[in-house]
């Protein structure tokens, strides 16, 4: 649940950043921004494999907290490497539209996942 | 968290592109205007965009405090194109000097291309707005 919340927050931030890119599609010298979250998360998990969750990982003691997720914040970065336009702007409207659609679907999936988990919890509480 | 920032950003894009379309329409309408209140022929107007930051509205101050200080786009100014005017030979025109009339530096094909760019950008912002709205609705449906 905690991970889903973090992912939802990251998707919200990503939506803001993409909306800003699209709004500035005609602004001279504007450089597009993006959000790094999943890669940082992956790196944090690889660096600390004990925090990796899954069937193979069985907590042996109470001090070994499975739900202790790595403290990773979604970070906004600016992409200065590419150039699309001759006015110094590197917003490619097509790829932004693809990104925004993808992000929207991702958000929907995450929101549905949270919903279904809550539903299951409700079923367990009420005993079916 | 309900995110209204994305919708505001998309709205700023819609506003900016609407203004750009207005200016383009004005340029096309005045493509043959040889007399302006300032004197001389009409000069093409250009819209200047800039990322909107540094405004001291409550939302922006709060956004900066929590690290989301992206506030969309703004039109900083509308400037006149100082490019050369077209000279057209038309001795019967009352504004003619030595048979030549100074015509506005409005190029219709440039304006048409700009118009399509502006309306596509408007559509893109509208789609971004819809996406943000749908995400908010999804968030409202969590737990239902």
The interface pTM score, or ipTM, of the predicted complex is 0.79
Predicted model pTM: 0.80
d(CA A109, CA B144): 15
| Min Cα–Cα distance to chain A from B126, Å | 10
- Summarize pLDDT for A99-128 with one digit per residue, the tens: 999 999 999 999 999 999 999 999 999 986
* Domain range annotation of chain B: 4-31+45-80+106-139
Please judge whether B51 and A24 are an interchain contact, meaning their C-beta atoms are less than 8 angstroms apart.
yes
Q: Among B124, B139, B143, select the one facing A97 at the smallest CB separation.
A: B124
Q: What number of CA atoms fall less than 13 Å from residue B70's CA on the CB side?
A: 33
Listed in sequence order, the DSSP H helices in chain A are 2-23, 38-47, 93-126
Please judge whether A100 and B9 are an interchain contact, meaning their C-beta atoms are less than 8 angstroms apart.
no
- Summarize pLDDT for A41-85 with one digit per residue, the tens: 888 877 766 555 555 555 554 444 555 667 788 888 888 887 777
Which residue in chain A is spatially nearest to B117 when comparing CA positions?
Answer: A26
| Residues contacting A111, CB < 8 A, separation 6+ | A8, B138, B139, B141, B142
Q: Among A11, A20, A25, select the one facing B124 at the smallest CB separation.
A: A25
Can you read off the two tokens belonging to residue A126? 């009420």
Residue B27 confidence (pLDDT): 95
Interface test with A, best of B6, B48, B136 (most A CBs within 10 A): B6
d(CA B95, CA B5): 52
Phi-psi region of B70 (alpha: psi -120 to 50; beta: other; left: phi over 0): beta
Which residue in chain A is spatially nearest to B127 when comparing CA positions?
Answer: A97
């Amino acid at each position: 649940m905690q991970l889903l919340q973090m992912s939802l927050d990251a998707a919200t931030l990503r939506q803001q950043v993409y909306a800003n890119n699209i709004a500035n599609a005609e602004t001279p010298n504007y450089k597009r921004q993006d959000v790094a979250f999943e890669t940082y998360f992956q790196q944090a998990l690889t660096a600390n494999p004990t925090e990796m969750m899954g069937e193979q990982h069985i907590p042996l003691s109470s001090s070994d907290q499975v739900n202790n997720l790595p403290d990773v914040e979604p970070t906004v970065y600016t992409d200065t490497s590419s150039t699309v336009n001759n006015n110094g702007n590197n917003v490619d409207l097509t790829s932004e539209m693809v990104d925004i659609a993808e992000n929207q679907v991702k958000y929907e999936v995450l929101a549905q996942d949270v919903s279904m988990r809550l539903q299951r919890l409700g079923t367990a509480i009420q005993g079916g | 968290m309900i995110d209204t920032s994305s919708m505001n950003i998309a709205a700023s894009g819609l506003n900016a592109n609407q203004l750009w379309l207005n200016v383009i329409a004005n340029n096309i309408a005045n493509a043959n205007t040889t007399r302006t209140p300032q004197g001389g022929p009409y000069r093409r107007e250009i819209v200047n965009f800039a990322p909107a930051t540094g405004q001291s509205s409550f939302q922006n101050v709060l956004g900066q405090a929590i690290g989301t200080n992206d506030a969309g786009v703004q039109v900083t100014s509308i400037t006149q194109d100082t490019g050369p005017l077209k000279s057209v030979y038309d001795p019967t025109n009352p504004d003619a000097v030595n048979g030549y009339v100074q015509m506005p530096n409005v190029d219709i094909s440039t304006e048409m291309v700009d118009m399509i760019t502006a309306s596509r950008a408007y559509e893109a912002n509208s789609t971004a707005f819809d996406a943000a709205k749908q995400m908010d609705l999804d968030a409202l449906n969590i737990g239902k």
